[in-house]
Amino acid sequence: MSTAKETASETALSDSQNYFSQELSWLKFNDRVLQEALDPRTPLLERLKFLAIFSSNLDEFFMVRISGLIGQVNAEVNPLSPDGRSPRQQLDAITDRLRPSVTQQHQLFERELRPLLAEKGVCLINYIDLSKDQRFYLQRYFEEGVFPILTPLAIDPSHPFPHMSNLSLNLAVSVKDPESGKENFARVKVPNSLPRFIVLPEELRQHAGKSCVWVGIPLEQLIAHNLEMLFPGMAIQEFGFFRITRDADLEVQEYEADDLLVAIEQELRTHRLGGSAVRLEVQKEMPDSLRKPLVEELGLTNNNVYEIEGLLNLKDLFAFMGLPLPALKDAPWTAVIPARLKAVNEYETESAFQNKDTVVDIFSVIREGDLLVHHPYESFTASVQRFISQAAYDPQVLAIKMTLYRTSGDSPIVRSLITAAENGKQVAVLVELKARFDEANNITWARSLEGAGVNVVYGVAGLKTHTKIALVIRQEAGKLKRYAHIGTGNYNPKTAGLYTDLGLLTCCEELGADLTDLANYLTGYSRQTAYRKLLVAPVNLRDRMNELIQRETKNARSDKPARIIAKMNALTDVEIIKKLYEASQAGVEIDLIVRGMCCLRPGLKGISETIRVVSIVGRYLEHSRIFYFHNEGAETEEIYIGSADWMTRNLDRRVEAVTPIENLKLKDELKNILDVLLADNLQAWDLHSNGDYIQRQPAKGEAARCAQKIFMERASKAAK
């Protein structure tokens, strides 16, 4: 029976004032991304990259988060967020919070970065500023390479308003028939099959009286200044640029689908153009006569309209990273080969096993002791990818089982799995078809794998399979031995060079047995409820995390040392947050490294005084998850890594795997990683109790400490 004091405490911890909005917290994360573009210390082309990331993030936010809230409003479903807001209140707050950031983003590009680029000889110019020779060249380019692709669409009683595809860039045009005097509305889509920026040839790269290394104009401006060719005999009255964002969240009823792959393929086809519109971006100068019919026909209100100064869709600024201007970019980084794996990578896998005497195989290295790999500082190709590729050719390997949530378009991991199947090995792969925005890519890989004889499954009904696991079964001395990789990131060599992630390579028998049970749960019929070491969502992960937090709470109440450090992408689960608040009330020292959304409010008197929250945003996307619990001392402390954030979806609606790290040397490595991250004073942002994030600056006389740079330096030193 609970006491009155406990009831009062529970009521206080449930008070909406003690929580931040998940959506507004995400917007603040994206503002920290924008800050990297604003920061003059960031190399110039990298500043453009961060503007592009800000835009790309925002597109996804509207397609998923905003569309979901709009759906709740339309359905008159009004669940309250942890901070006590209804869906309508959340939308209003998002709009108020977002508009200044969007304005700041575009003003930064138009007023600061574009001129800075021009100073460096990279000139993105407007059509009206072209010279006569440049216009002549572009006129011919338009006639030969653009005009045949374009399809002007009239909009009148005999031509209904067209369905404009998601994220499409368009021109709205008003034309007048000189004979009848009637004005008509038309739309021209800017083709995404052409480069967004039309680059002039070397002999025409001059601007404002000086030579440039690159000169280009936006494709939409070239189209706009040649509208007469699209509407011959008509008088062009007005035109304006606009861009549409639509609901892009797939809805598949798994329990009703006989074939999940076919069901998702069909949903992708029907959803290809996007669902209902959720945002309209227009150039600030667009006349009301063009804007108004767009707003009405798309079923939007002025709250859904964002006026843009200058160029729309800054996501296309990614293209500038391809310019051969190393002085305007971060210094290149080549991931190092972990020292223990150097000998493994001195031969070609395809031919190595024909001469076994020369091979140092990765399995013998793992048998010597667990190996922790830290990407992108240590090579994904030389570790995880090598683990799978060697398994594909090794005649002693009998089976490979793994999960694929996201992978690259030209995936060497998938190629190795196909090779393994062709070499007669038993290969089972869970391909998560519901990985948002990668559905089509994963369907392609699933069909390729199936065609090669791989056993492909699509997960557990009602759950996304987000875990990152690979299991290799090898015959050694007449017995079967299991080798495993358990990671925090996807099996994707491209993102492994952009995201910070961790992976454990091990032949621990208990973990191997757990992964076998987990694989059987994913591929067959199983109600596995207990694991030896592995923490698996939605089976035991939430309960064990609660127990670990509560143990620290109990120790603090008994005047024992108590400490929690947790690194993750997002912290939004209310139950976990309450446990952390209770731990703080008991005196547990808690440091949280949360890159993105954080609904926990640190530093509240009597609630979270001992909790500190820091976010690190830098060159690499912080993606690893690490959970540290002091447990009364150095010899008994527990550390875990895995695929799960402390979000309700990860704990309850996804299949996740989190593994303990028990090797003392590896535990020290992880503790050191946490210490370096917590000591960062350049790219770290402290979350305050009022919701503001304040970027750290080195104190007077204090050395600058950038965690990501430190990890690169240490990796280079270790490699030498």
Catalytic residues: 466
Residues in the chain: 720
Cα 681 to Cα 671: distance, rounded to the nearest angstrom: 18
Contacts 24+ apart (CB under 8 A), 99-106: 99/306, 101/27, 101/30, 101/31, 101/34, 102/58, 102/306, 102/308, 103/309, 104/34, 104/38, 105/34, 105/37, 105/51, 105/54, 105/55, 105/314, 106/308, 106/309, 106/310, 106/311, 106/314
Residue written as tokens 């869906």? Answer: 87
With beta carbons less than 8 A apart as the criterion, state whether 719 and 337 touch: yes
With beta carbons less than 8 A apart as the criterion, state whether 171 and 244 touch: no
Rg for the chain (alpha carbons), in Å?
Answer: 28
Cα 374 to Cα 382: distance, rounded to the nearest angstrom: 12
- Residue 272 burial by Cβ neighbours in a 10 Å radius (0-12, 13-18, 19+): exposed
Residues 6+ apart with CB under 8 A from 309: 103, 106, 107, 110, 284
DSSP-based three-state secondary structure for 230 = helix
Sign of CA dihedral 59, 63, 68, 74: positive
Report angle CA 625, 388, 519 to the nearest 5 degrees: 65
Cα 433 to Cα 426: distance, rounded to the nearest angstrom: 22
* Beta strands at 305-308 and 277-283: parallel, antiparallel or unpaired: parallel
Cα 365 to Cα 369: distance, rounded to the nearest angstrom: 7
Cα 695 to Cα 708: distance, rounded to the nearest angstrom: 16
With beta carbons less than 8 A apart as the criterion, state whether 619 and 639 touch: no
DSSP-based three-state secondary structure for 326 = helix
* Residue whose C-alpha is closest to residue 278's, from 255, 290, 295: 295
Cα 402 to Cα 468: distance, rounded to the nearest angstrom: 8
Cα 399 to Cα 429: distance, rounded to the nearest angstrom: 11
> What is each CA distance from 569 to 277, 398, 465, 621, in whole angstroms?
29, 36, 17, 10
Cα 80 to Cα 287: distance, rounded to the nearest angstrom: 39
* Residue whose C-alpha is closest to residue 197's, from 177, 214, 174, 179: 214
Cα 180 to Cα 403: distance, rounded to the nearest angstrom: 65
Residue written as tokens 């079964």? Answer: 473
Cα 563 to Cα 360: distance, rounded to the nearest angstrom: 41
Residue written as tokens 């404009």? Answer: 164
In the beta sheet, which residues pair with residue 243? 169, 281
